[in-house]
Amino acid sequence: MTPTGGSNGGPRILICHGWSDRNKGDAAIVESLVGLLRRRYPGAEIRLLSEFGPSDRRLHGETFRARQLFDAVHGAVFPILPVEPASEARLRLPTGLAAALHSIRSLLALLPLPRPGLIWTEAERESLRVLGAADVVISKGGGFIFGQPGLRSTLRLWRILFPLALAARARVPFVLYAQTVGPFASGFQKRLARRVLGRAAVTLTREAPSARTLAELGVASGGGDARTAVRVVPDLAFGLGPPETDDAVAQVFERHRIPDGPPLFGVTVREWPGSDSYLRAVAAAIDRMAEEVGAHAVLWPQCTGPGRFEDDRYAARRVLEAVTRPEAVTLIEDELPAWTLRAGYARMDLFLATRFHSAIFAVTGYVPTLAVGYWTHKAEGIFGDLGLGQWALSIGETSPDELSAAVAGLWERRAEIRRYLQERVPAVVEEARRLDPAVAGVIDRRLEYRRREDGRLLSSPT
């Protein structure tokens, strides 16, 4: 997909909260969203505001595919900390001091004051300029608007909300598109979220629990305007387009010698604090499937970064070490694009998904799937909305006996669940592949306003 650069007076759209192409769920969301916007607005200028700072090497290293989709990628003014500088010679502040500095700067940025080079780098001022000049800011879908106990998590929440607060300050409408919101751990976090999220032009959540959280915050009504009322829409990863090459998955299967005879049991895992019991439970489920139905497990790399904690391959290796029949397991460690993973998951007979977008990829292929949720209510919420609530567990509930029993129960009902998915999922995919009309309405109104203003300036006497 080639950026079109805002030709023909198209809208200037800034997508914020860019993350990493190594997270294939995030990559699928971004690719789907950009596709929706470019189909509706071929002349749009679409830029990405990353969560990494301009001087962070990850700004370039984690957007190797996204850069093909956008007209430009910009660094965050309040970035993820600690910053990993591109140059070793660059001063690296202690994380606590850097957090305090960025917090103070974020408050200054909300004031109508000049932005001197002493406080802001040229790249940061460019990010601020691009945000202020946008016709609309869209917070891409995901599960990052939440808070946990403690000051560190509260500062993280403010970092997430900051570009939206900046947009509101600049009178640029912002949109939450297919978001998970909450939970929040303190009254201050709730007040902070209410103050910022209550100013959204459109709020679209991706599951009912988030809509209820917003109602509890008092921001569910959209100001009484039906066009901006909070609604639940599909996660945009449901709308990921078809694979770019038909033979990519076949090559993966051939390269890793995945057998075509036994039932295939797809699995994704992730690193998690105190994860030994959870990974042992996954290994026990793999062993039980191998012993009882002769299944061959495939450990897929849904996320390969950024950093070790977000690289699923480390956890997958520990699962492989824990199983009793490693010959019945294939470990894949390749860097695979989202569409190849989705097509590979569709070849599985059963799926155990810890990374939630691997669950979405699997059910779009009508594969009976058990989801293991963590952090927010996204797994329980989205599976609940799909009518699959009984097949979503919390990562804290994954004892070997419980997880193995759940997988065995899913296997017993696999034919029934596959038929249900074939009936239920196509409508969800179809909706995810349409730009929401409320979002289009915001962009259309801003575009019309800008055209009127441009016309007024051209017709004014000099």
Domain ranges of the chain: 7-239+433-459, 248-428
Which tops the pLDDT comparison, 302 or 246? Answer: 302
**Could you tell me the pLDDT band of residue 1, with boundaries at 50, 70 and 90?**
very low
Q: Which two tokens stand for residue 203?
A: 């709020």
What architecture is the 7-239+433-459 domain classified under in CATH?
A: 3-Layer(aba) Sandwich (3.40)
Which tops the pLDDT comparison, 159 or 276? Answer: 159
Give me the percent of the chain exceeding a pLDDT of 90.
Answer: 76
pLDDT of residue 3: 43
In terms of DSSP H, where are the helices of 139-275? Answer: 151-169, 187-197, 208-217, 248-255
pLDDT of residue 140: 94
DSSP string, 240-295: ----S-TTHHHHHHHHTT--SSS-EEEEE----TTTHHHHHHHHHHHHHHHHHH--
Q: Which of 189-193, 240-244, 371-375 has the highest mean pLDDT?
A: 189-193
3-class state of residue 128 by DSSP: helix
pLDDT of residue 90: 57
Give me the percent of the chain exceeding a pLDDT of 70.
Answer: 92
Mean pLDDT of 294-309: 96
Domain 248-428 indexed as CATH 3.40.50.2000 = yes
pLDDT at 84 over 80: yes
Mean pLDDT of 262-281: 93
pLDDT of residue 243: 63
pLDDT of residue 88: 59
Partners of 215 in beta bridges: none
pLDDT of residue 14: 98
Candidate from 2-16, 40-54, 151-165, 430-444 with smallest mean pLDDT: 2-16
Mean pLDDT of 368-375: 92
pLDDT at 4 over 50: no
Model-level pTM? 0.92
Mean pLDDT of 127-145: 96
pLDDT at 63 over 90: no
pLDDT of residue 226: 52
Cα gap 462→459, rounded to integer Å: 9
pLDDT at 223 over 60: no
Question: Average pLDDT of the chain?
Answer: 91
pLDDT at 124 over 50: yes
| Distance set, CA 71 to CA 1, 124, 402 (Å) | 11, 17, 48
Instruction: Assess contact for 182 and 145: CB atoms under 8 A.
Output: yes
| Distance set, CA 398 to CA 270, 353, 371, 382, 403 (Å) | 13, 12, 11, 19, 5
Mean pLDDT of 90-97: 74
Cα gap 85→116, rounded to integer Å: 22
pLDDT of residue 462: 54
Q: What is the pLDDT of residues 168-192, one digit of tens each?
A: 999 999 999 999 999 999 999 999 9
pLDDT of residue 453: 75
Q: Which two tokens stand for residue 188?
A: 């201050």
Q: How far is CA 331 from the centre of its chain?
A: 24
pLDDT of residue 113: 73
pLDDT of residue 222: 47
Mean pLDDT of 375-379: 83
Q: How far is CA 308 from the centre of its chain?
A: 18
pLDDT of residue 83: 86
Partners of 303 in beta bridges: 23
Mean pLDDT of 420-428: 97
State the Cα angle at 83 between 336 and 146, rounded to 5°: 75
pLDDT of residue 183: 95
Cα gap 222→202, rounded to integer Å: 7
